[in-house]
């Protein structure tokens, strides 16, 4: 695998993993009632997802311009990290919203 392809794969894996980690941290903050920190962690997760998405978009743009990207296990693994991170972030957003709602009901 050449250096450019490895950079793409590692960008997907690194930013996807960082996004998932931030989303997990957001859930932990919310469980502790630290909703401002949870929201900040979600912002960080979204930034990491943007970075990963930028890597993916660059790859798709090159593909559209006729520069074919070979699909191998590394690329599949990188895409898998990204998709799992997106799903995990989406679930974190929903869980945190529910935790905020429960807290609001408990305070009544």
2 Rama class: left (phi>0) / alpha (psi -120 to 50) / beta: beta
Q: Any binding-site annotation on 80?
A: yes
Active-site hit among 15, 53, 68, 77: 77
Question: Nearest 5°: phi and psi at 7?
Answer: -65, -40
68 is annotated as an active-site residue? no
Annotated binding site for Mg(2+): 80
Annotated binding site: 80
> Which residues are marked as active site?
77
């Amino acid at each position: 695998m050449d250096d450019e392809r490895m950079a793409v794969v590692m960008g997907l894996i690194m930013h996807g993993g960082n996004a998932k980690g931030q989303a997990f941290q957001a859930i932990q903050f919310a469980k502790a009632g630290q909703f401002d920190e949870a929201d900040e962690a979600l912002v960080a997760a979204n930034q990491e997802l943007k970075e990963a998405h930028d890597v993916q978009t660059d790859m798709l743009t090159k593909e559209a311009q006729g520069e074919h990207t070979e699909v191998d296990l590394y690329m599949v693994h990188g895409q898998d990290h990204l998709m799992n991170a997106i799903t995990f972030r989406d679930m974190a957003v929903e869980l945190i919203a529910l935790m905020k709602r429960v807290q609001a009901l408990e305070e009544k």
